[in-house]
A and B are shown apart, each in its own frame.
Chain A
Amino acid sequence: MLLITCPHCGPRAELEFAYAGEAHIARPTDPMALDDESWARFLYHRANPKGLHAERWRHLHGCAQFFNVVRDTVSDSIVTTYPAGQPRPALPGDDKGATR
């Protein structure tokens, strides 16, 4: 069971959290201005990296906040966590070229 550090509450067991998909995919400000292809890309296209993956989790059974996690999909180790709305920090291992 993963141990996830909530940016607000500290380290907590995975049981308290809900996964919420890839991070840093912003909803377009004017969806109607997008063509079908771009909209489909926003809706459905996701990275599936072997390596570091920025993803969203919600501390559902805790402070209820959504936040971001960078997790290594190979080892399951969590490299960092940071509040929603903050950009993904540069991390050692980024240069290894995570494959999509």
Chain B
Amino acid sequence: MSGFRHSTAGRVDRNKPVRFSFDGKTYQGFAGDTLASALLANGVHLVGRSFKYHRPRGIVTAGSDEPNALVGIGADEAHYAPNMRATQVEIYDGLVAESQNRWPSLGFDVGAVNETFAPFLSAGFYYKTFMWPPKAWAKLYEPLIRRAAGLGRAPTQADADRYTQVYAHCDVLVVGSGPAGLAAALAAATTGGKVFVCDEQSEMGGSLLAETTATIDGLSARDWVARALADLAARPNVTLMPRTTAFGWYPHNFLGLCERITDHMAKADPKLPRERLWQIRAKEVVLATGALERPLVFPDNDRPGVMMAEAARIYANRFGVKPGDKAVIFTACDSAYRAALDLMAAGVAIATIADLRAAPCGPWIDRVRSAGIAIRAGTVVTGTTGRLRIDSVSLATVGIDGNPGSSENIACDLLLMSGGFTPSVHLFSQSRGKLVYDEALQAYLPGISVERERSAGACRGIYDLDKVLSNGAASGTGAAKAAGFAAADTITFSTTADSVGTDGFIGVTPFGGPSSKARAWIDFQNDVTAKDVRLAIREGFRSIEHVKRYTTTGMATDQGKTSNMNALGLVSETLKVPVPQVGLTTFRPPYTPTTFGIFAGQSRGDMFDPLRKTPIHDWAAEQGAAFEDISLWKRAHYFPKRGEDIHAAVARECKATRGAVGIFDASTLGKIEVVGKDAAEFMNRMYTNAWTKLEPGRLRYGVMLREDGFVMDDGVVGRMATDRFHITTTTGGAPRVLSMMEDYLQTEWPGLDVWLTSTTEEWAVIAVQGPLARKVLEPLVEGIDLSREAMPHMSVREGRICGVPTRLFRVSFTGELGFEVNVPAGYGRAVWEAIFAAGQPHGMTPYGTETMHVLRAEKGFIIVGQETDGTVTPDDAGLGWAIGKAKKDFVGKRSLARPAMTASDRKQLVGLLTVDSKTVLEEGAQIVADPAQPIPMTMIGHVTSSYWSATLDRSIALALVRGGRARVGTRLSVPMPSGPITVEVVEPIFYDAKGARLDA
């Protein structure tokens, strides 16, 4: 024994010393240590400050239920992770850890002044204090709360680590590798099914790793674990997953597992992810998640040096660490007696065992008594002392009245407590299984399953080793069978182990009656005391869900793993109602705090979403285009020349297109090929327009409604043959248009002989627009006569351009003579470059989506999603002409006949001209009739599009205005923070109203 480390005991590797730092001081531990065990081996108990009162806190548990020992880990900000449980952090050479929630240091913390104000920080403090006056919220309360709130600190740099996500399937997933889990895994593995076994700890074996006396099949528990793991590892159908937490259960046996891969490595291979999210679909699940030891609730039970008895046993047996020199034990169950013997063997003096029970008896009690340890039955802890570490305990015997008598003070540096065990039913509850309260065990146990799972061992309240193993094996066999794999034979085990029984205690131990001023902690992490819970009840809270939210008990990052049952017990006792009537708070994922990293996975930066680029994208990028996001697409927004801002570039692009010729990448337009003998009939039903008489080789602008009568999409449609249409849709609308068409076709009109194929990405689309467009294209085209006579506006021809096949549309979204050249996508860039080269003598200018928007707005062409918002009818948008009046039916037609759809005061599309021509309205701005009216004003419309028109040398806007068409010629007002802007309502067309240019 040197210091607090045993010379031989435990599973740490003494040949591999490890140096790490905690709060700037360097310590040594061994490979196999957790940060908690290594700190304890160095005599460090004080590891953090509590959340609310900044009380000094120490290590309480040895597992993922740790409420106190939360630390920040990471040598630099890019690798910093807050709120890591020291009990789960494996140490390595160079590990840098720091305590949290203290300033300037752990030993002297200014925030501990909250302790002085503790009487004012009672349950519901926020709700009661920060109420009035309202103005204090923004400047006083919120900053104050924000500064005090939050646990740990967020790193200041982006996470430098990799995280991956992977899907996997198995027949049986076993969660937990303690005795029940290993037995289940062995039983399931022999059937040949695909078995996954995960455990949150670095070593598999669970409670058996700290077991020193029990034997299984003639082997020590640890040797049996080693043999079982070797057996499993040798089987190709078994995957062992240590350091892997099953944190969430999602519908249909889909579980989220977080595998920690590099956190324990001093020098991690940079190719490895830090963590891997396993998304596992398991045919059957065996939950072998064990049980968590419950603290006892007594005054000042939160000092450093107060620890769970079983945790102390784990530190002694598994890590060879002596958590103190002289211990007092406070218990309500037999397992603490087992711990006492193990700790005594590890060199800890056991001053006394205070047992809450009046007459404890059984083999463990006998063994302790014969070891010479004093046992005080019917005794409670009434208080503790010690500033940064416990130095004494007051004990008192509980009298017949149920209250403790006079106290006796006993010096110690360690106080171990055990209130019995709480089955870990978190995942079962997440799977929506019904929990049933077991009065005898004072525990909620798994009841009826909803998903395909079974709980085995301690997590279903079975604690004796022989029963745990046989229950585990039966669960493994049963799960494999349910997954379709028959078991060869039953696995049995022979064990020697004394039962530690099932005694325990929930609630608050008697220490001076409900009016006692003593503070006995129920929730260590959120600093909730028995007094807080009692106050909540006095104030009328009854349901545990309300008590929880009012006091915040169970709401910290540990989700009340150590506190929930004691809170329930206290509420039950205070209200004098049975525990089940108090209710149970819902267990939700994640079981333990989980990094954002694994939820993001590889979806970071440019990989966050598919970043769709057209075949012409790279050309635009090389030209220095600015891009904008349109749905998932990157589209060239404008092509700035040196020194140009967006306004200058757009003005130049507009003038060039109207004056000569522009070239525009329209490849993102959605495209659908509609083929079959009933194609025209299908088009008639889907669109408002009539299609029957459209001749092959002609185009038509089509409007599509939803069944509720509102505009859903629009686009130009070409009839390629009697039985073949080439539809274009908006860029963002392509998937939903195709989906809606498929829906009608598959489910309403399956008799139509027509089929749909998306061709969005088959074609690159190059728009050539402007008075010189024909001149540019003519020399490049084979087999198509581009002349006005042979190919009028709104026609389509097939032929070749630059030697490759094309569908050439004569169409204009600019109001100029225009063509849209469709070529197979793989030729898109080459054809674009050929056209661009041919256009240079004619002053051809590339333009982006902003210029496209301005040019179309000058012509009053709407953009679905800009002029429409899902509440706009064709008539509202000025598209009444596109409705085939003679058609008996089309999608949305009946809705257009509803009274509200034909009301005269509907918002209608109009043009707006600001009286001051230089003022450009803001899109989205509201429109009123009279700006002098009192606030709130009656809003009669809004601006949908607004631009500076270089062509017209003035601003233009489109707007939806109530009864707008009747207001043409009148003046309205657009109130803005700087004052109202007066506008004149005009027809929504600003340029070449007769359309002579596009017919050129």
Interface of A with B (CB < 8 Å)?
1-3, 13, 18, 20, 26-27, 30-32, 34, 36, 39-40, 43, 56, 58, 60, 64-66, 75-78, 84-85
Give the residue name and chain of the A residue nearest to B253 (CB): A3
Q: Give the residues in chain B near A76, CB-CB below 8 Å.
A: 251-252, 432
Contact B747 A32 (CB under 8 A): no
Q: Give the residues in chain A near B899, CB-CB below 8 Å.
A: 36
Contact B707 A58 (CB under 8 A): no
Whole-angstrom distance between the Cβ of B378 and the nearest chain A Cβ? 47
Give the residue name and chain of the A residue nearest to B743 (CB): A66
Whole-angstrom distance between the Cβ of B257 and the nearest chain A Cβ? 14
Q: Which of B746, B893, B898 contacts A36 (CB under 8 A)? A: B898
Answer whether A30 and B889 are a contact pair too, CB < 8 Å, given A2-B251, A36-B899.
yes
Whole-angstrom distance between the Cβ of B630 and the nearest chain A Cβ? 22
Contact with A along B516-532 (1 / 0, CB 8 A): 00000000000000000
Contact A31 B894 (CB under 8 A): yes
Answer whether A1 and B707 are a contact pair too, CB < 8 Å, given A30-B889, A65-B746, A85-B750.
no
Give the residue name and chain of the A residue nearest to B251 (CB): A76
* Whole-angstrom CA separation of A56 from B747 in the bound complex: 10
Give the residue name and chain of the B residue nearest to A65 (CB): B746
Q: Give the residues in chain B near A39, CB-CB below 8 Å.
A: 894-895, 898
Q: Which of B167, B742, B898 contacts A66 (CB under 8 A)? A: B742
8 contacts across the A-B interface (CB closer than 8 A): A1-B281, A3-B254, A3-B281, A20-B743, A27-B707, A58-B739, A64-B742, A77-B252
Interface assignment of B622: CB less than 8 Å from any CB of chain A? no
Enumerate the 10 nearest inter-chain pairs by beta-carbon distance, A residue then B residue, closest first: A31-B894, A3-B252, A76-B251, A1-B254, A66-B746, A27-B748, A84-B747, A75-B450, A2-B252, A66-B747
Q: Give the residues in chain B near A85, CB-CB below 8 Å.
A: 747, 750
Q: Give the residues in chain B near A27, CB-CB below 8 Å.
A: 707, 744, 748
Interface assignment of B128: CB less than 8 Å from any CB of chain A? no
Contact B250 A32 (CB under 8 A): no
Whole-angstrom distance between the Cβ of B604 and the nearest chain A Cβ? 19
Contacting A at CB under 8 A, from B689-714, are 707-708
Whole-angstrom distance between the Cβ of A37 and the nearest chain B Cβ? 10
* Whole-angstrom CA separation of A43 from B897 in the bound complex: 13
Interface assignment of B888: CB less than 8 Å from any CB of chain A? yes
Q: Give the residues in chain B near A2, CB-CB below 8 Å.
A: 251-252
* Whole-angstrom CA separation of A8 from B96 in the bound complex: 55
Whole-angstrom distance between the Cβ of A3 and the nearest chain B Cβ? 4
Give the residue name and chain of the B residue nearest to A25 (CB): B747
Answer whether A32 and B281 are a contact pair too, CB < 8 Å, given A2-B251, A56-B747.
no
Q: Which of B250, B708, B750, B893 contacts A1 (CB under 8 A)? A: B250
Q: Give the residues in chain A near B742, CB-CB below 8 Å.
A: 58, 64, 66
Q: Give the residues in chain A near B253, CB-CB below 8 Å.
A: 3
Q: Give the residues in chain B near A1, CB-CB below 8 Å.
A: 250-252, 254, 279, 281
Q: Give the residues in chain A near B254, CB-CB below 8 Å.
A: 1, 3
* Whole-angstrom CA separation of A70 from B450 in the bound complex: 17
Q: Give the residues in chain A near B279, CB-CB below 8 Å.
A: 1
* Whole-angstrom CA separation of A2 from B750 in the bound complex: 28
Whole-angstrom distance between the Cβ of B751 and the nearest chain A Cβ? 11
Q: Which of A13, A18, A26, A32 contacts B739 (CB under 8 A)? A: A18
Contacting A at CB under 8 A, from B93-129, are none
Answer whether A32 and B894 are a contact pair too, CB < 8 Å, given A1-B250, A1-B252, A76-B252.
yes
Q: Give the residues in chain A near B167, CB-CB below 8 Å.
A: 13
* Whole-angstrom CA separation of A34 from B895 in the bound complex: 11
Q: Give the residues in chain B near A43, CB-CB below 8 Å.
A: 707-708, 895
Contact A26 B748 (CB under 8 A): yes
Whole-angstrom distance between the Cβ of A70 and the nearest chain B Cβ? 15
* Whole-angstrom CA separation of A30 from B890 in the bound complex: 10
Give the residue name and chain of the A residue nearest to B254 (CB): A1
* Whole-angstrom CA separation of A50 from B633 in the bound complex: 41
Contact A34 B894 (CB under 8 A): yes
Q: Give the residues in chain B near A58, CB-CB below 8 Å.
A: 739, 742-743
* Whole-angstrom CA separation of A1 from B167 in the bound complex: 12
A-B contact count, CB below 8 Å?
63
Give the residue name and chain of the B residue nearest to A34 (CB): B894
Give the residue name and chain of the A residue nearest to B250 (CB): A1
What 11 additional pairs, Cβ within 8 angstroms, besides A1-B254, A85-B747?
A: A3-B281, A18-B739, A27-B744, A30-B889, A31-B889, A31-B894, A32-B897, A39-B898, A58-B743, A66-B742, A66-B747
Give the residue name and chain of the B residue nearest to A1 (CB): B254
Q: Give the residues in chain A near B250, CB-CB below 8 Å.
A: 1
Q: Give the residues in chain A near B450, CB-CB below 8 Å.
A: 75, 77
Contact A32 B893 (CB under 8 A): yes
Q: Give the residues in chain B near A75, CB-CB below 8 Å.
A: 432, 450
* Whole-angstrom CA separation of A40 from B895 in the bound complex: 8
* Whole-angstrom CA separation of A39 from B893 in the bound complex: 11
Contact B893 A31 (CB under 8 A): yes
Whole-angstrom distance between the Cβ of A68 and the nearest chain B Cβ? 10
Whole-angstrom distance between the Cβ of A2 and the nearest chain B Cβ? 5
Whole-angstrom distance between the Cβ of B21 and the nearest chain A Cβ? 42
Q: Give the residues in chain B near A78, CB-CB below 8 Å.
A: 252
Contact with A along B276-296 (1 / 0, CB 8 A): 000101000000000000000
* Whole-angstrom CA separation of A66 from B432 in the bound complex: 29
Q: Give the residues in chain A near B744, CB-CB below 8 Å.
A: 27
Whole-angstrom distance between the Cβ of B632 and the nearest chain A Cβ? 15
* Whole-angstrom CA separation of A78 from B252 in the bound complex: 9
Q: Give the residues in chain B near A18, CB-CB below 8 Å.
A: 739
Whole-angstrom distance between the Cβ of B717 and the nearest chain A Cβ? 22
Q: Give the residues in chain B near A32, CB-CB below 8 Å.
A: 888-889, 893-894, 897
* Whole-angstrom CA separation of A61 from B379 in the bound complex: 66
Whole-angstrom distance between the Cβ of A29 and the nearest chain B Cβ? 9
Q: Give the residues in chain A near B897, CB-CB below 8 Å.
A: 32
Q: Give the residues in chain A near B746, CB-CB below 8 Å.
A: 65-66, 84
* Whole-angstrom CA separation of A70 from B351 in the bound complex: 65
Q: Give the residues in chain B near A60, CB-CB below 8 Å.
A: 739
Q: Give the residues in chain B near A40, CB-CB below 8 Å.
A: 898
* Whole-angstrom CA separation of A30 from B979 in the bound complex: 53
* Whole-angstrom CA separation of A43 from B281 in the bound complex: 38
Give the residue name and chain of the A residue nearest to B749 (CB): A27
Give the residue name and chain of the A residue nearest to B890 (CB): A31
Whole-angstrom distance between the Cβ of B708 and the nearest chain A Cβ? 6
Contacting A at CB under 8 A, from B280-327, are 281
* Whole-angstrom CA separation of A56 from B739 in the bound complex: 13
Contact with A along B614-636 (1 / 0, CB 8 A): 00000000000000000000000
Contact with A along B239-277 (1 / 0, CB 8 A): 000000000001111100000000000000000000000
- Counting chain B CB atoms within 10 Å of each CB, which of A2, A43, A78 scores highest? A43
Q: Give the residues in chain B near A77, CB-CB below 8 Å.
A: 252, 450
Whole-angstrom distance between the Cβ of B32 and the nearest chain A Cβ? 37
Q: Give the residues in chain A near B708, CB-CB below 8 Å.
A: 43
Q: Give the residues in chain B near A30, CB-CB below 8 Å.
A: 888-889
Q: Give the residues in chain B near A84, CB-CB below 8 Å.
A: 746-747
Contact with A along B728-767 (1 / 0, CB 8 A): 0000000000010011101110100000000000000000
* Whole-angstrom CA separation of A85 from B746 in the bound complex: 9
Q: Give the residues in chain B near A64, CB-CB below 8 Å.
A: 742
* Whole-angstrom CA separation of A85 from B748 in the bound complex: 9
Contact with A along B217-241 (1 / 0, CB 8 A): 0000000000000000000000000
Whole-angstrom distance between the Cβ of B63 and the nearest chain A Cβ? 29
* Whole-angstrom CA separation of A75 from B450 in the bound complex: 7
Give the residue name and chain of the A residue nearest to B892 (CB): A31
Contact A13 B747 (CB under 8 A): no
Q: Give the residues in chain B near A66, CB-CB below 8 Å.
A: 742-743, 746-747
Q: Give the residues in chain A near B894, CB-CB below 8 Å.
A: 31-32, 34, 39
* Whole-angstrom CA separation of A65 from B776 in the bound complex: 45
- Counting chain A CB atoms within 10 Å of each CB, which of B167, B252, B750 scores highest? B252
Give the residue name and chain of the B residue nearest to A23 (CB): B747
Q: Give the residues in chain A near B747, CB-CB below 8 Å.
A: 56, 66, 84-85
Whole-angstrom distance between the Cβ of B294 and the nearest chain A Cβ? 31
* Whole-angstrom CA separation of A94 from B874 in the bound complex: 43
